[in-house]
Structure 1
Amino acid sequence: MYSPPEPATAQRMRTQHQWAADTLDVTCDEAGEFWGWAGRTLGRPGTIVGGRRVWLRLVTAAEAKAAGKLWEGAETAHKALGALDGHRPELLAIHDTVEDGVVYRAELSEHLDVPVISPDPVLRAPADLAPGWWDDLRTVLGTVANTATDRVAVRREYIERALPEFLDVPAPENTRWVTAHGDLHWANLTTPALRILD
């Protein structure tokens, strides 16, 4: 979704990604490099023994910051939600390594061979969604909403600041808090079959 980072970061991440692929016995595709913000993540499709298609995502952080919601998101979501009846990729393995005070987390997941609705979070053209797609989304998000968690993606203070700033409306006095996908947008949803990514 983002451009590659500056060359030194890109090379370091590519080297660590290849190390993770070797460790987890993944043969990554030649094409298909996907960068996260500022080179913090690097994902590539690949194959494991037996021909199963997988996605290998590498996350990096300074050793002192390798914790919390951004670091533990995939693992925590997998433990709480599983594959959501086939609506999210299955997490297959996690492998951490530390080098020179930097932690690298390799997350190996099932690869989905279905297209995302939009290449970026903003929907720029009408989406051709299959019959029942919205019903599936409603059901899946209902399951997520009813899942207990102690993770917090959005705080009350943010709502009180953001709604007036961006929408020119006051924050509601009463809010009902439920579990939600912290990054739900068109680039994290697939079609024709609904799958929820990230």
Structure 2
Amino acid sequence: MIGYFIELSSMGSTICYVSIRMWLFIILMIILPLYIIALIMAEYKKRRPSAPKNEKHKNDKELTSLEDVSKYFDIDITETDTHFLVGVKRRSDGEEMWDSFDYGGDMWFERGIGGTFPHYMERLYGFEVGFEDHKYTLKKDTYEKSSPDEKDPDTNDVRFWIEMFIFENRRWFRYSDWKPHERGTEN
């Protein structure tokens, strides 16, 4: 009879031992992927580009209306025979905003149109977009007309589309009423 109890107790400890090993394996399989993801995210945060320059001043303001875009940003559009050259500067400090165009597109990204200014112009208007000398180029011959009667776009149309893009992505296009010497960022 005592031998029977010894055998049962050793069998029970074997089951518990296997069970503990299984529990350790399950816990390891849950924790290990989370640890790997944490390492990947830490590496990603080190390597990703820094936030756009216009986000470095926390007290800068967001645009509240479409009219604010032309009030606080200088949109330079040059039309040639083959394309439009587009450049945007913030009026308060003269900083070029082309880096913010690469971060924008939040609303359009949710709709599946794309996240950046080139995606926005390509998907909505069919423009082929390039980048040279800190300005975007929109090729005229790639514009897709919605109807045969529609006129070719001019600088006013392009200006309106850019103002819409800036306003829709206003968190990347902040402005300030301060002058450069007041913020301590003069070069």
Scaled by the length of structure 2, what TM-score is found? Answer: 0.27
Q: Which has the higher strand share?
A: 1
Question: Would you tell me which structure has more helix in proportion to its own residues?
Answer: 2
Between structure 1 and structure 2, the one with the greater Rg is 2
Normalising by structure 1, report the TM-score: 0.26
Q: Which has the higher contact order (CA 8 A, sep 6+)?
A: 2
